[in-house]
Amino acid sequence: MPIRQLDIQGVRNLAPLDITPSPLVNFIYGDNGSGKTSVLEAIHLLAAGKSFRSTQVRQVLSHERDRCEIRLRFQRDDETPERELYHLRLKNGDHLFRLDESLLSAQSQVAALLPVQVIEPNTFRLLSGTPEDRRQFLDWGVFHVEPAFIEEWRMFRQTLKQRNSALKQDQGDWLDVWNSGFIESAARIDQFRKAYLTLLVAEFRKTLASLDDSLDVNLNYYPGWDRESDLASVLERQKDRDIQLGFTQSGPHRAELRITVNRVPAAEVLSRGQQKTVVSALKLAQGIVFKQQTGTAPIYLVDDLASELDARHRLALCQVLEDLKCQVFITSIEKNQLMDGWAPADFKVFHVEHGQLQEETLA
């Protein structure tokens, strides 16, 4: 799924740039504050519709411009023609996404075309963050390998909203109307997630072993309600409390992926470097499953590769990326932290200085 050409304007401190990346490995290095993360952020803004560092997308726009524009040409694989994706965002929040000449109505259409995975210094937060963070991680995978999932999830959210509104208005009788749809939809979502997780767990174990064979980490899926009971009886049991609270306590919106070491949450026992390794293994495993299911790999954005990882773990991570034959953009402060011990088959090196990105010619 390589990006063939990338054109960025009006993002943070970056001077307008137009590059032809390698379809495999792209190294970006430069001093602190030079603009490395901003390059990855621009790709992510188009592909995922948000920044991975600021909650306010507005912050990504250059202080000196009233708009940012990101345009790229990508190719699903060698057999398919190149297509163009374009994103325009104004300071006032207005924005649009375009595929070739057609406007796209939803960002999820871009996400489906250009799947990206991010590994960055705050990546370990997947372990220490909220259940929702891990649910979103899980659903990224389900969304990309099961086309029916997004529509099912949309319908479920709608039913949940109606059920919650009936609860808030204390209309207990109406609950039965919503319950059957809620339960059926919950069962389908649960099936999608379980089927995906079976694939993910197998790849996660292999990937983690290749990054660090001393770590023994378990993934446990919790559907969002007491596993010993069926959802109908859980809803019945919780009905009075649901009415008191004004929302539905149990259901797939409360699903959770528990990540543990000896039954203790991984975030509470693992070192920062070990946490980064585990989360990297999870994200790499998602890419591997994605490739098995779709025939093409997602694009990896690896920001500040060296943070928290020693040379051995860095090399192991790069090796998995190389084996996946995906396009990857990796940043680092020092050039030798990237090249040290790793010589991928096809790569380009870019240097960033004060927002100016230059491709280096390789000797």
Ligand X SMILES: Nc1ncnc2c1ncn2[C@@H]1O[C@H](COP(=O)(O)OP(=O)(O)OP(=O)(O)O)[C@@H](O)[C@H]1O
Binding site for Mg ion (CB under 5 A): 37
Q: Which residue number, 63 or 263, has a Cβ lying nearer to ligand X?
A: 63
What's the rounded Cα separation, in Å, for the pair 7 and 159?
41
What's the rounded Cα separation, in Å, for the pair 147 and 59?
33
Q: How far is the CB of 155 from ligand X (least distance, A)?
A: 38
What's the rounded Cα separation, in Å, for the pair 234 and 187?
13
Among 20, 33, 227, 334, binds ligand X (CB under 6 A): 33
Among 12, 89, 144, 348, binds ligand X (CB under 6 A): 12
Give the contact letters, 280-309, x = binds to ligand X (CB under 6 A), - = no. ------------------------x-----
34 is in an annotated binding site: yes
Which residue in this structure is represented by tokens 């293994």? 281
218 is in an annotated binding site: no
Q: Does 26 bind ligand X (CB under 6 A)?
A: no
Among ligand X, Mg ion, none, the one that 5 touches (CB under a kind-dependent 5 to 8 A) is none
Q: Which residue number, 12 or 348, has a Cβ lying nearer to ligand X?
A: 12
30 is in an annotated binding site: yes
Among residues 282, 285, 289, which one has the least CA distance to residue 133? Answer: 282
What's the rounded Cα separation, in Å, for the pair 188 and 160?
15
What's the rounded Cα separation, in Å, for the pair 273 and 210?
15
Show contacts with ligand X in window 59-78 (CB under 6 A): 59, 61-63
Q: 56: which 2 tokens?
A: 């306010």
Q: Does 30 bind ligand X (CB under 6 A)?
A: yes
Q: Does 172 bind ligand X (CB under 6 A)?
A: no
**Only segment of 57-65, 103-111, 112-120, 219-227 that touches ligand X (CB under 6 A):** 57-65
Q: Are 252 and 167 in contact (CB under 8 A)?
A: no
Q: Does 13 bind ligand X (CB under 6 A)?
A: yes
Rounded alpha-carbon distances, angstroms, from residue 139 to 3, 105, 118, 145, 283: 24, 21, 15, 10, 12
Close Cβ partners of 255 (under 8 Å, ≥ 6 residues apart): 131, 135, 138, 189, 190, 193, 221, 222, 223, 224
Q: Which residue number, 286 or 331, has a Cβ lying nearer to Mg ion?
A: 331
141 is in an annotated binding site: no
7 is in an annotated binding site: no
Among residues 270, 280, 275, which one has the least CA distance to residue 319? Answer: 280
Q: Are 245 and 225 in contact (CB under 8 A)?
A: no
Q: How far is the CB of 119 from Mg ion (least distance, A)?
A: 13
Q: Does 2 bind ligand X (CB under 6 A)?
A: no
Q: Does 35 bind ligand X (CB under 6 A)?
A: yes
239 is in an annotated binding site: no
Q: Pairing state of beta strands 347-353 and 356-360?
A: antiparallel
Q: How far is the CB of 285 from ligand X (least distance, A)?
A: 26
Binding site members: 30-37
Binding site members for ATP: 30-37
Q: Which residues contact ligand X (rule: CB under 6 A)?
A: 12-13, 30, 32-38, 59, 61-63, 304, 333
